[in-house]
Structure 1
């Protein structure tokens, strides 16, 4: 992956203006940003994080909070020729959003662009989690699998069509040989017919008598020839019906066997499963509500701490500025009391912080419980779906069997009709032959035999020509079908390529994410010069996991760390032993990898950075310079002393 990839040179407006009311700790503010780096510079509790939340709100994130003493808030972002508005309203202890934000779905941006302290990607690194989950969270693997199934079905269909063409092509040589033999047979019959007619013309007989007898005989012979043709067609139909009945009976046997292997599931079991699914859904909904309430409570307490600090810093009058900082530092240095503006009670700051940690722990437990319930729910839904599919298949197979039985009955009736017609035609032929025999006289015997021979030759010639036409029509149809081969092969290649792409899409995303992280981590470690920290990288391995009732192989992203001792000996370390600064840099690099792998810059050209105090000022400046190459708008909240270390061209916002 190359640096300076011109991601900031895309069609992105040069300027953005934000207006916010009652977001975080902000009463009202209006701030403009130029494309590139913007530093929000100030002391603690000066609403820098609140301004970042206001940007997030206008962009579409729900991870924002209202001002504690307000019931409604508003964020508006003017970006190019468009204005994006978002409202926040407190209802029943939760925050409800409305409006027309920049993003329809903020999930990817929340993970990889809005890098505040509670950002999921940064937290995953801090906790030492499997990093595959946050990287792959935006990827709809179910949708990819559904596409794979569709393309597999298309490929099977094309393969069957191509196999059918191969069979048809294999029949062509036999059909062409048959056509040649039939042409030779027709030529022979025509020659025999011409010879028989010539012989009949040369036979000596009374011309007038011959004319009369010939007329009557030709009528009889014409009827005989037509009747024989009808009998031939009836015999063909009888043979066709018998072959169809045999094929249907074979199919019926297969379908009956398939039906016997299927059995409708017990209705009671279905009802029980549906009841369990409903109960799990209710339990999941209750947990989701509790998680939401816990998050609101956590945000409330966090704002309580921030607003209390802000109040202390601004509590002195204009003439007391010189002593204000000392007083604030004294109060903030110890376990000062925090006053709740809703009930008026005072609580020690460290007690509030402890409560926040406890609430976060409870929220994590509830999230795990919800995840387990969701797994149980998916398992039962999958079981119910399998049962319903089995029941549907049983019904469809039963209907198919009934349809085959009805078709067999219809063909049996037609077979009986054609058999009866065959008997009628056979009797009619025998009667005609008897009538022709009655015309025979001693003087006319030889001529009659000649007439019979001519009639028989004409009948055989007519049948041979009809059979040749059928052979030629079949050859023409096969050749027309074979013209489809090139198009089918082209479609199969396209489907195969798409299948390969789909099957490797997840693998490519994982590989690209690991490559991006490892490359940027290597570059930044070299730039930031972290002492004895030699290397940090992600090792992609495979492990067996349980999905519902199945076990499957899935990738795992394991963070690897190598340090060296003073004497140069290398050893492997863990994330727990990294300094806070090293851990924060690692989390930010991981988020940058996600930002690039998922092309987040194409959907939201902003990246927001906060809570960088654990990193020293010089390294913060280098980090911002590195990130600048990949982000159109980089907005960073920094303390005044850290902001002074930023050397790249940047805008500064100090009044919020």
Structure 2
């Protein structure tokens, strides 16, 4: 199936790097910017980076403002550069809102941080992991843990309900047996009453009067029984409320005021974040200045007016003479060593600022964790105090209801005494025996009612618990999903690190096979744990260490260090590391460009192989090469020989 072609890219540049004005159209696939030094190839790549969103671009030394317009298909993107004192302000509507990924892994110019980290032998883990939002991952982990703990608590309650089921069922059987015995006893008492009634000759009116009197006693006793049950329930509730009040009071009294104010911590965190943003700007600015001056020293920097007759056939002769060069700020000649010395100081300053930024990141995380802990403790105290107030109100209401019930019970007991006296006043032959039987029957009926109510309550509780237990499997499944999610979150960073290491090692092995370095057998990254200090605490962190294996003339393999790599080997290693980051972070989904520059340390045949290998990883691959290096590349590529 034929590959679908991508739209061409048209770039208009004004006052960027060493370019006054230029317009270039790039097709998809590989585009080679070919030419001698000082032909603005690097400046054009920086302009293209600016249009895509990067800030690692310099404004032309003699200009107050500049800009880039980038047309990609039907879309147009812009980038403006305006001088503001000693700095440059960026504006417009570029392709990327956040260029961090692209700056690290797509814009592979000489000062690219990923390439330079390899060249310096830095810990490569920080470069690979910088774009990962670990704060968001940590927040999600905390939320998952909270949900998991709630589920585990609910499941534990359901387990407890299940453990109680046998006791409930045994209690129900016991109540049912009591009910059956009571019903049999009541039947026996009623038979005795029927026999007694058959042998007692009295008027129907007197018998009915006696029955009504006994019924009023039974009704009053039933009401007394209900009141006493309500009183027992309220007293039990009062005991539980008082116990809860004691626990809440202990919680509030045991709580200690935090040593720090979370609002004051928030101010410190905001201050650190502002400092971090300032460092980000400084680091980007330093990167641009360093890159620009490196281009100047190499002879590929800004255009200046030169004496063509004095220069002869060499367009850089007037810029660099021996160990002197033309300063781009004032136009005077200065010692190249002076610029190199300044560059070393700038590189060290940038390295120091990178270290400071890492320390600030760690301090921000520590303060954020501490702030969250303090606020959560404060919320716990506030919730306890609010519940304490509510419990106090509930205790007052319960005590009021208890007093009311006690008063009603006393009144009901007095009423029962009066009703019994009234029943006893009915004059019927055989009354004493009938009265005793009616009293016994009344007590049995009350006990039967209470047993039936208790059995109904137990049945309802058993049904409720069995229904809840049925939900337990769903809760367990949900807990397992959360556990898997927690595991996935906790291992996400590890997986990204593992993927980065694996990608790098696979690509490095392939590239080394392609480039055929005679005594360079293997270059690979080892991922290992190490203990470091962050603020006032020690934490375990991973680092990526680069290992090199060489072979001696007699075929013996031995391990070497990055410092002993040749410049060519180091450049290739840096490029492959950056490409691994491009693949691991799926940078092609964010920006479909790879820009490549400063390959002079690699011989032309190997450059051709590197370009051929890299070109499959981006829709637009743009590389700046010297003519003799470009000559070794395929004729199928697009070549741009003049930036104008």
State the TM-score, normalizing by the size of structure 1: 0.88
What SS class does the counterpart of residue 36 from structure 2 fall into?
coil
- 1:157-556 aligned at under 5 Å gives the runs 157-204=150-197, 209-265=202-258, 294=286, 298=290, 301=293, 311=303, 315-316=307-308, 324-326=312-314, 328-329=316-317, 332-340=320-328, 343=330, 345-372=332-359, 375=362, 379=366, 383=370, 386-439=373-426, 441-556=428-543
Alignment CA distance shift 1:174-1:53 (3 Å): same
Residue 535 (structure 1) shift: 1.2
Cα distance in 2 between the residues matched to 1:310 and 1:264: 62
Q: Does 1:132 align with 2:120?
A: no
Pick one of 89, 92, 96 that aligns with 2:85. Answer: 92
**In structure 2, C-alpha distance between the alignment counterparts of 1:548 and 1:390, rounded to whole Å:** 23
Instruction: Give the alignment partner of residue 56 of structure 2, picking from 63, 82, 91.
Output: 63
Q: Greater CA deviation, 210-219 or 576-585? A: 210-219
Corresponding position of 1:592: 579
Is contact 1:24-1:303 (8 Å) kept? no
Alpha-carbon distance in 1 for matches of 2:435, 2:178: 25
Whole-Å separation in 2 of the counterparts to 1:604 and 1:222? 92
After superposing the two structures, state which structure 1 stretch, 90-99 or 179-188, moved more. 179-188
Give 1:644 deviation, angstroms.
1.4
Secondary structure of the equivalent of 1:118? Answer: coil
Q: CA deviation at 1:512?
A: 0.9
Query: C-alpha displacement at 1:370, in angstroms?
Result: 4.9
For 1:210 and 1:190, locate their aligned partners in 2 and report how far apart those are by CA, in whole Å.
30
Of stretches 641-650 and 394-403 in structure 1, the one that deviates more from structure 2 is 394-403
Q: Are the equivalent residues in 2 in contact too, given 1:264–1:394 (CA < 8 A)?
A: no
Q: Does structure 2 conserve the Cα–Cα contact (< 8 Å) formed by 1:68 and 1:300?
A: no
- The 10-residue stretch of structure 1 (357-366 or 117-126) with the greater mean CA deviation from structure 2: 357-366
Please give the secondary structure, in 2, of the residue aligned with 1:22. strand
Give 5+ residue unaligned stretches, structure 2.
Answer: none
* Partners of 2:496 and 2:266 in 1: CA distance: 37
SS for the counterpart of 2:245 is helix
Q: What is the CA distance between 1:151 and its match in structure 2?
A: 0.7
Shift in alpha-carbon separation, 1:208–1:605, aligned structure 2, 3 A: farther
Alignment pair present for 1:650 and 2:637: yes
Offset from partner CA, 1:113-149 (integer Å, 9 cap, x none)? 1111111111111111111111111111221111111
Is contact 2:111–2:291 with CA below 8 Å preserved after alignment?
no
How far is 1:237 from its partner? 2.9
Shift in Å at residue 501 of structure 1? 0.6
Match of 2:38 in 1: 45
Question: What is the CA-CA distance between 1:538 and the residue it aligns to?
Answer: 0.8
Distance 1:220 1:128, change over 3 A: farther
TM-superposed deviation, 1:69:
2.6
Q: Which moved more, 1:25-34 or 1:542-551?
A: 25-34
Structure 2 CA distance for partners of 1:254 and 1:648, relative to 1, 3 Å: farther
Shift of 1:430: 3.2
Aligned equivalents of 2:497, 2:150: Cα separation in 1: 32
Aligned counterparts of 1:175 and 1:271: Cα–Cα separation in 2:
53
In structure 1, the partner of 2:552 is 565
Q: What is the RMSD of the two structures over their aligned residues, measured on CA atoms? A: 3.4
Residues 398 and 418 of structure 1, relative CA distance in 2, 3 Å threshold: same
**Unmatched tracts of structure 1, length 5 or more:** 1-5
Q: C-alpha separation between the residues in 2 aligned to 1:540 and 1:389?
A: 36
Deviations 1:12-50 (A, max 9, x none): 834333333332222333333333222111111222122
Structure 2 contact 56–287 (Cα < 8 Å) conserved: no
Encode CA deviations 1:561-608: one digit per residue, 9 max, x unaligned: 111211222222111111111011111111111111111122222111
2:82 match: secondary structure: strand
Q: 1:117 to 1:226 in 2, by over 3 A?
A: farther
CA shift in 2, pair 1:551/1:241, >3 Å: farther
